[in-house]
Amino acid sequence: MLISLLQAGFAFVRRPGFRYFILFLLLLCLGGCAGRLNKASARYYAGQPQQALELLEKGDHLGKRNQLLFLLEKGVVYHQLGDYQESIQQLLQAAQLIDQFEMLSVTEQAGSLVTNEWMTRYKGEYSERLWVHSYLMMNYLLLGQYDDALVEAKQALERLEKHPKALQRAYFTRALIALCFANLAEDNDAYLVYRQLADDLPSPVTVAADIVRYADRLGMVDEVEKYRSFLPRNLPAGEAELVLFVANGRIPEKRPGNVVLPPSIRFAFPYYSKRTTPRPRMTILPEKWKSLPPVSSDLGTVARDSLAARKTRIIAKETLRVATKEAIAQSVGNKNDAAAEAIMRVTLFLLEEPDTRSWKTLPGRLTLLRILLPAGHHKLQLKLNFPGIYEQHTIDLPEFEIRQGQRMFRSIRY
């Protein structure tokens, strides 16, 4: 009885019509996957973060393949709205999910071999996995939870150690890590991060003042001498520090790339456009208050480096998928007529879609600006000039009171 039931069940699946129907259904489902995420990022960039949130709160249409992206996007939108606590909640869940993704799912990988990468849960590029911790660090610093910011700094360091080459140009995050250590008087760790940053930055001038300060405290006379020559002229001094996290522009989106070989072989791969976000010249008004040299990262550059680091893996998997699909098409052709093979080839060809999912609400550039001030009441403005563009922006910062030795944090996006 049971055997005859099994035979009847699988005979149904073996019908070519049923299989094409399943493939067609998959095609339909996968096509509409990222719709809500795209709409949400469009709302966000149209200056409607609240509407973007409403869409993101609804979650994925089908399954949890894009769960990570929903959490990441919500993390940035809540940060933008100043709800740092909620941003933390979303991003901590995202970080937990990323840890879970370290385990390779056999069923998921097998499924993606006959369809495409959209079938798998989005695991985040190396750069995106790092920026989860960057935003968590910023959120905790803005809330004055310095111990927690340091926890995130350590987790970000782990990510950097895992992919040193891909994340080498994540200067903003690396300077933020050093700041988290410095903020809790962990001088040795702060020094080490600044020292590595000095080696990788185009010029060590940006972090020379910090290296000299911590090397001096740690009694490293030779290092003090070495980096003293890189100190900028008229190095500002102050009793307190206002730290600005300045975000501008929009991270480039992943684009679909295709290589088609006859009769129906299609290699599909994602790539980032070569667009970079301009680095603004920042001035503090009134101009008597000066800042340390800013540390800035173009997020598009780091994202491109991360994707390039995964290139070998992407090519290997794509080759395997193409081979699997070719074998399926030929098998259908052998068992059925030429029309069935043609339909199968067209379906598999259309299913071959590059995975262009990415964290879209991220800015194009993040800059860390530290302004040295005397203790007291301040009302400041931030003036931004872009190279080659006449246009300039002036942003009013909320008035604040700062104590001697205090470090205060503010986040700005324009």
Partner 1 sequence: MKKTLLFWSGLLIFLLLSGCTVTTREVGSDEKVIYDEGYHFSDKKAIVDDMVKSLLSRPPLLIATDRPVIIVYGIANRTGEHISTSAITDDLRQALLNTGRVRFINETQRKNIERETSYQYGGNVAAETRIQKARQIGAKYMLTGTLRSIKKDQPRQFRLKKKTLMYYSLNMELTDLQTGLIEWADSTEVIREASKPFIGW
* Vertex 389 angle, CA 386 and 390, to 5°: 105
**C-beta of residue 53 within 8 angstroms of C-beta of residue 111:** no
Residue 139 vs 277, nearer CB to partner 1: 139
The least CB distance from residue 91 to partner 1, in Å, is 12
249: exposed, middle or buried (Cβ count in 10 Å: 0-12, 13-18, 19+): buried
219: exposed, middle or buried (Cβ count in 10 Å: 0-12, 13-18, 19+): exposed
Residue 157 vs 209, nearer CB to partner 1: 157
C-alpha to C-alpha distances, 254 to 147, 237, 257, 271, 358, nearest whole angstrom: 35, 43, 9, 5, 7
Residue 8 vs 261, nearer CB to partner 1: 8
Handedness of CA 356, 359, 364, 368 (dihedral sign): negative
The least CB distance from residue 226 to partner 1, in Å, is 29
Residue 9 vs 232, nearer CB to partner 1: 9
Neighbours of 230 (CB within 10 A): 16
Residue 95 vs 369, nearer CB to partner 1: 95
The least CB distance from residue 7 to partner 1, in Å, is 8
Residue 135 vs 227, nearer CB to partner 1: 135
The least CB distance from residue 136 to partner 1, in Å, is 10
C-alpha to C-alpha distances, 164 to 64, 109, 122, 133, 310, nearest whole angstrom: 30, 27, 22, 16, 13
Residue 51 vs 67, nearer CB to partner 1: 67
Chain contacts with partner 1 (rule: CB under 8 A) = 4-6, 8-9, 11-12, 92, 102-107, 147-148, 150-151, 154-155, 158, 184, 186
Which residue pairs from 148-157 have beta carbons closer than 8 angstroms and sit at least 24 positions apart in sequence? 149/180, 149/183, 150/180, 150/181, 150/183, 150/184, 150/186, 152/180, 153/177, 153/180, 153/181, 155/95, 156/130, 157/193
The least CB distance from residue 12 to partner 1, in Å, is 5
The least CB distance from residue 320 to partner 1, in Å, is 16
**C-beta of residue 226 within 8 angstroms of C-beta of residue 262:** no
The span from the CA of 367 to the CA of 214, in Å, is: 22
Nearest to 209 by CA among 221, 196, 191: 191
The least CB distance from residue 404 to partner 1, in Å, is 21
The least CB distance from residue 68 to partner 1, in Å, is 17
Residue 162 vs 281, nearer CB to partner 1: 162
The least CB distance from residue 2 to partner 1, in Å, is 9
The span from the CA of 167 to the CA of 264, in Å, is: 37
Before 263, cis peptide (omega within 30)?
yes
Residue 150 vs 244, nearer CB to partner 1: 150
